[in-house]
């Protein structure tokens, strides 16, 4: 499914999703706990890359 580079989002040791290619404009709501964003690359090409926005509300909810 992800043959080149992708971002993987992990919350409390559980994979929430993997994002690559044309999957843009997605919103994910994650609440309390540890959140890890991992970047995976196969190193074969250099291209534009990824853009991510993260917002944390006063109640501790994280929106990306």
Residue 46 belongs to a domain: yes
Residue 1 belongs to a domain: no
Domain that holds residue 12: 6-63
pTM assigned to the model: 0.66
Residue 52 confidence (pLDDT): 77
Residue 1 confidence (pLDDT): 56
Convert the pLDDT of each residue in 16-62 to its tens digit.
888 887 666 677 877 777 888 898 888 888 877 777 777 777 665 55
DSSP 10-62: EETTEEEEEE-TT--S---EE-SS-EEEEEE--SS----------EE-TTS-E
């Amino acid at each position: 499914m992800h043959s080149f580079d992708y971002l993987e989002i992990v919350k409390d040791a559980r994979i929430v999703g993997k994002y690559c290619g044309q999957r843009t404009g997605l919103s994910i709501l994650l609440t309390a706990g540890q959140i890890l964003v991992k970047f995976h690359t196969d190193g074969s090409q250099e291209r534009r890359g990824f853009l991510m926005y993260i917002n944390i509300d006063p109640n501790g909810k994280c929106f990306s």
